[in-house]
Amino acid sequence: MDQQLSTLMPLEKNAKEGIYSMLSACFNFVNSIIGSGIIGLPYALNQAGLPCGLLLLILVAFITDYTIILLIRGGNLSGTDSYQSLVQSTFGFPGYFILSALQFLYPFIAMISYNITAGDTLTKVLERIPGVGPDHLLANRDFVIILTTLLCTLPLSLYRNIEKLGKVSFTSVVLTGIVLVIVIIRAATLGPQIPPTQDAWVFAKWNAIQAVGVMSFAFICHHNSFLLYGSLAEPTLTHWTRVTHISVGTSLLISATFAVGGYVSFTGYTQGDIFENFCRDDNLAAVGRFCFGVSVITTFPLECFVTREVVSHAVGGRQLSTLEHTFLTFIIVAACAAISLASDCLGIVLELNGAVSATPLIFIVPSACYLKLSSGPWYQRDHWIPVLLILVGAIVMVTSLTMTFLSPQDCSHGADLFYCGGAHVSATLPPL
């Protein structure tokens, strides 16, 4: 009996560890997707039109799910355990160099967008404190970005094990849920009092392709897929497929609800940062700003993990010493903070990152790797989807980047819009 118990206990322990690792991976996965990109999804619907935008959002989520699994399958075929190693074994040094640049660029720009979001949202929250006005130090976005960097993002980014961020990611997901509820409430209470623009309910708009870049930025998580896959107690393709379906499906539900709730409230007035549409004296929006600001701050370390891994691979792929780890983390975080201090238009940052790095990382690279590694000609039936994704990705990348420069977003950072100031925007909560 004792021998049977001793045999069963390790099995039970391994099962619990497996479930915990899958839950932790799901929370990290969802947290990686639901970053600052979600805040620009109402703006993406504004670009594409509500019905067309929703269809595009579902399509991008499906492609994300498909290519993430394709990526890990390619890793299994090539015997590699990182995105860089997969591309290097498939396309040699030129492919490795291009991917490393994309792998570094995407999370690096994402961290800049997180800082911009924190600066935009938390300053308005701090203004709700009695005695803190627009000219107060706490209402200065530069000061807030530096403060959150020193107190939050830098200490969290110094972790060496991504699994330790599982609880932090869970907190971030809960906060995002609160933000979602607030956006829905405001869609019901504030939205009907704002006159819709003339083209608010058209099926599609001419710059729908530009919206795909923003959506790609919102959904991309390929850059840390191998990290999350390796964090599973039993990293098998079956377990990874389950984690991917749950995580991407949950993210799509959250993203679509957030996007629709934000867009129907403000229609054609929707900004790249949806919280720029809410009025300064809206207490309920202030709660949402606080929750989302904290959420993106806790997402920042996940992107820092990827950026740091790319750099460590570039210097030889060896394990960094504690001193090297600390120094490299400080340089990355400081560089992101410095650049974010000089830019305050979130929409343009999202569009550029979506076009330049997110689109090729989602559409092109995983499909190209799989086609190169799998047997048979490229035109056989099971290769049709990867080939199509490469073509679509190239079109979206070029078109979105061109349109971003030709018709950049008009930011209204820090300014209340025309519908603010009346009693109809007063929140039901007491002042903070």
- At 98-123, the pLDDT tens digits run 988 888 888 898 899 889 888 888 98
Q: Please choose, from the candidates 169, 219, 162, the residue with its C-alpha nearest in 3D space to the C-alpha of residue 27.
A: 169
Quote the pLDDT of residue 65. 94
18 pLDDT higher than 70: no
Instruction: Determine what percent of the chain is predicted with pLDDT higher than 90.
Output: 25
Q: Is residue 431 part of a domain?
A: no
Q: Is residue 114 part of a domain?
A: yes
Q: Is residue 223 part of a domain?
A: yes
Q: Is residue 417 part of a domain?
A: no
Burial class (CB in 10 A: 0-12, 13-18, 19+), 346: buried
Q: Is residue 52 part of a domain?
A: yes
Q: Please choose, from the candidates 321, 310, 313, the residue with its C-alpha nearest in 3D space to the C-alpha of residue 357.
A: 310
* Of 29 and 36, the one with more pLDDT: 29
Quote the pLDDT of residue 16. 55
Q: Is residue 189 part of a domain?
A: yes
427 pLDDT higher than 50: no
Q: Please choose, from the candidates 189, 199, 173, the residue with its C-alpha nearest in 3D space to the C-alpha of residue 278.
A: 189
Residue 407: pLDDT band (50, 70, 90) is low
Number of structural domains in the chain? 1
In angstroms, the CA 117 to CA 290 distance is: 11
Quote the pLDDT of residue 426. 42
Q: Is residue 362 part of a domain?
A: yes
Q: Is residue 346 part of a domain?
A: yes
Q: Is 241 left (phi over 0), alpha (psi -120 to 50) or beta?
A: alpha
In angstroms, the CA 199 to CA 268 distance is: 7
Quote the pLDDT of residue 154. 93
In angstroms, the CA 42 to CA 252 distance is: 13
Burial class (CB in 10 A: 0-12, 13-18, 19+), 68: buried
In angstroms, the CA 43 to CA 37 distance is: 11
Calculate the dihedral angle through the C-alpha atoms of 204, 273, 36, 124, rounding to the nearest 10 degrees: -160
Residue 183: pLDDT band (50, 70, 90) is confident
Q: Specify the CATH number for the domain of residue 175.
A: 1.20.1740.10
Domain of residue 313, residue span: 24-409
Quote the pLDDT of residue 431. 40
